[in-house]
Amino acid sequence: MTVAPPSPAARAAAREHVDALAVPRGALGQLAELGVWLASVQDRVPPAPPKHVHAVVFAGDHGVAEHAVSAYPREITPMMVRAFVAGTAGVAVLARQHDVRLRVLDIAVDADLSDLGVDSYKVRRSSRPLHLEDALSADELEQSLAAGRTVAAEEIAAGAELLISGDMGIGNTTPAAALIAAALGLPAEEVAGRGTGVDDEGLAHKTEVIDTALRRVGHVDDPHALLAALGSADIAASAGFMAAAAESGVPVVVDGLIAVAAGLLADRLSPGASAWFVAGHRSTEPAQSLALDKLGLVPVLDLGLRLGEGSGAVAAVPLLRSAALLMNEVARLDEL
Ligand SMILES: O=C(O)c1ccc[n+]([C@@H]2O[C@H](COP(=O)([O-])O)[C@@H](O)[C@H]2O)c1
Ligand SMILES: Cc1cc2nc[nH]c2cc1C
């Protein structure tokens, strides 16, 4: 479904509003851009500081992680899901600090997490190794997309005004980079990054794995086919989540490599969706910057973060709130 753009009238009025504020013209820099974007997605000038912000972490394992593409073993994924629930993962700390509601979902973790009650949307245990075979069947892909869409609807019904998609999964930078390469027509060398911190030899091997996956699949335009071949259940769920948010007129703060890959695919599934996205941060992964450029998104933060989990998006939330507050509370120059 094609997505209607955020309000052009509110955007224009917000731009005029910013230009009339008691600051030198242009002095608010990117904060003004954020304020104007917020006004257009809320259709309200000045925009309200987003109060109800909900982050959902889509967790899943990846068959390709058994093929030496990560600095860490697959067992970390369920350990970290437990840390999200306990509130001790990095993003959980930031979410608490910024009053962001955090939910974690086991979409494809290769472990039994039923004691945590986070597995109601579980599609399978681990997606298949994308360099050897399609990561998902067509049915599994539809199930994953539907899970993400349903979760977005649940969060919106619960009052979310702004959504964040986080990710957890050892090995997930490989499918994310492969999806971006395929979607943008780039070679493996341009998209491969160090992920959790592979060394030079590891990076060379990971590049080969991505290249093998890209050659196995060949040229594919259809976003469903791309997600099934080169993606994963958790990335597809995230793409469904972002597409559904945009279709419902709810804005999304995108995070690092994995969320941006999902956002790029969401924009292919639902053309125009990316107008509802803002980039929380620039990650160290080269493919994330390439995809942000393609989507025309300028990151709020550039901190050298490479944690994933939605952490860079959650860290950007206070600046979004600042952007809205400035538009509400700074005097107009002609009022002074
Ligand atoms: O968000 C990013 O840009 C990012 C960059 C590097 C690593 N990560 C996180 O690290 C894990 C994937 O890294 P890897 O090396 O196992 O593919 C996964 O859990 C991600 O959340 C995330
Ligand atoms: C410890 C750890 C925490 C993470 N959070 C997101 N990806 C991660 C990868 C590792 C290895």
Q: Quick check: 1 pLDDT over 90?
A: no
Q: What value does the mean pLDDT take over residues 18-37?
A: 98
Distance, CA 256 to ligand 1 centroid (Å)? 8
Comparing CA positions, the residue from 284, 281, 286 lying closest to residue 297 is: 281
Question: Is the pLDDT score of 234 beyond 90?
Answer: yes
Per-residue confidence (pLDDT) for residue 105, from 0 to 100: 98
pLDDT of residue 304: 98
If one looks up domain 53-317 in CATH, what number appears?
A: 3.40.50.10210
Nearest Cα residue to 64 out of 290, 246, 216: 216
β-pair partners for 221: none
Domain with CATH 1.10.1610.10 in the chain: 8-48+323-335
Query: Is 180's pLDDT higher than 90?
Result: yes
Tell me the ligand closest to 169's alpha carbon: 1
Mean pLDDT of 140-156: 98
CA–centroid distance, residue 168 to ligand 1 (Å):
7
User: What does the pLDDT look like over 252-294, one tens digit per residue?
Assistant: 999 999 999 999 999 999 999 999 999 999 999 999 999 999 9
Q: Boundaries of CATH 3.40.50.10210 in the chain?
A: 53-317
Q: 241 alpha carbon to ligand 1 midpoint, in Å? A: 19
Rounded to an integer, what distance in angstroms lies between the CA atom of residue 269 and that of residue 266?
5
Does domain 8-48+323-335 fall under CATH 1.10.1610.10? My reply is: yes
Given a contact cutoff of 8 angstroms between Cβ atoms, the answer to whether 7 and 38 are in contact is no
* Ligand 1 centre distance from Cα of residue 78 (Å): 14
84: pLDDT strictly greater than 90: yes
Q: Decide: 234 in ligand 1 pocket, CB within 6 A.
A: no
| Ligand 1 atom 17 nearest Cα | 171
Pocket flag, ligand 2, residue 307 (CB < 6 Å): yes
Confidence of residue 170 (pLDDT cuts 50, 70, 90): very high
Nearest CA residue ID for atom 3, ligand 2: 80
Q: What is the pLDDT of residue 254?
A: 98
Percent of the chain with pLDDT over 70: 100
Tracing tokens 């593409």 back to the chain, one arrives at 69
Question: How high is the mean pLDDT of the chain?
Answer: 98
pLDDT at position 36: 98
**Catalytically active residues, by annotation:** 309
Digit-coded pLDDT (tens) for 111-144: 999 999 999 999 999 999 999 999 999 999 999 9
Residue 79 has pLDDT above 90, yes or no: yes
pLDDT confidence bin for 199, thresholds 50/70/90: very high
pLDDT 10s digits, 239-254: 999 999 999 999 999 9
Number of H helices, E strands in the chain: 13, 5
> Which of 77, 91, 172 has most ligand 1 atoms within 8 Å of its beta carbon, as the pocket-test mutant?
172
Q: What is the pLDDT of residue 35?
A: 98
Residue 162 has phi, psi (to 5 degrees) of -150, 135
